[in-house]
Copies of this chain bind each other. A is one copy, B any other.
Amino acid sequence: MSELEIIEYIRKQFPIRNKEIVKGIGDDGMVFRNGYVVSVDSFYEGVHFDRTYYTMEAIGHHTMAAALSDLAAMGARPVCALVSLCCAAGMRLEDIKALYSGFKVLSKRYGFDITGGDVVRGPGFGLSITVIGKARSVMERSGARPGDGLYVTNFLGLAEVGRHVLRDKLLHKEYRDSIKQHLFPEPRFHEARSIKKYASACIDTSDGLSTDAMHLAEESKVRIIIDAEHIPIHSEVGEFCTNHHIDALDHILASGEDFELLFTAGNVPRQPGLKIFKIGHVEKGRGLYLSQKGRTILITPTGYEHLKP
């Protein structure tokens, strides 16, 4: 059973009938005719975060940033969030206060409110975050056109390096950016505002470059070619991969949770103060291809599968 099978089943069984809804399942969020965008993400201890090195503040920041990232990917500004907490035995009020202090940093930074939620007991610690944003027009996954370039807002693969470093207790000072990206990712609202007028399609890199690029290709019904030589490699990713005898490209294609914006556009003028890399292009056809050393080959997504044990 894959996430895709489930989504396809639900999509077929529940065609949208309310006229006030312009987009249902299949994008980063659902979209109302009046411009409200809604997205839900759930996170559980042991699956989505590891409390041996995650503080409650970091869990709050990480999960809220991950949820908000879906709004950024659609070009919406955040309005509010509802948090449903699943409390494990032994949870204290202090833990919850620390979790919320992680939310508060982002709430202040991006001006959204915490407007509700739910608190229940459950089989383990986890939380489900509903974020609501607003946009005059939304960026969708389905707008990529042949001739567009493929762009990304930053380096990729850092968060996954950070996860390994923290889990395996490697030397922290050598992997500062990676650790920050894993514990405290930043929703790319600022970048989204800058690229919105140029982008034809957009997604956030939550599941890994190959899987997220495949989503763009599928929803837009185009072929996407990733240009291996143009993928920027952060020095920490390079070092980590060398030390661990991993191919840096393979690492980047498979590693999620950077929450960068992966988008297509006809042309993107230089954006002062923003890192934007062109890492491929869009063609007629279908599927995901990798161009490397003069050869272009069909590749299979290797990113995160939500239901794999």
Contacts and interface: CB of A to CB of B under 8 A. Distances in A.
Q: Give the oligomeric copy count.
A: 2
B84 A120 contact: no
Interface in A38-65: 38-48
B307 A119 contact: yes
A121 B34 CA distance: 33
A126 interface: yes
Interface string A83-118: 111110101110011001000100100011111111
A214 B82 CA distance: 24
B13 A115 contact: no
Contacts of A30: 80, 82, 115-116
A1 B86 contact: no
A168 interface: no
Contacts of A45: 123
Given A9-B96, A40-B130, A100-B10, A113 B3 contact: no
A36 B35 CA distance: 13
B44 A123 contact: yes
A206 to B, nearest CB: 11
A227 B93 CA distance: 36
Contacts of A41: 84, 118
Nearest first, the 6 closest Cβ-Cβ pairs linking A and B are: A123-B124, A128-B128, A44-B122, A30-B115, A24-B115, A14-B114
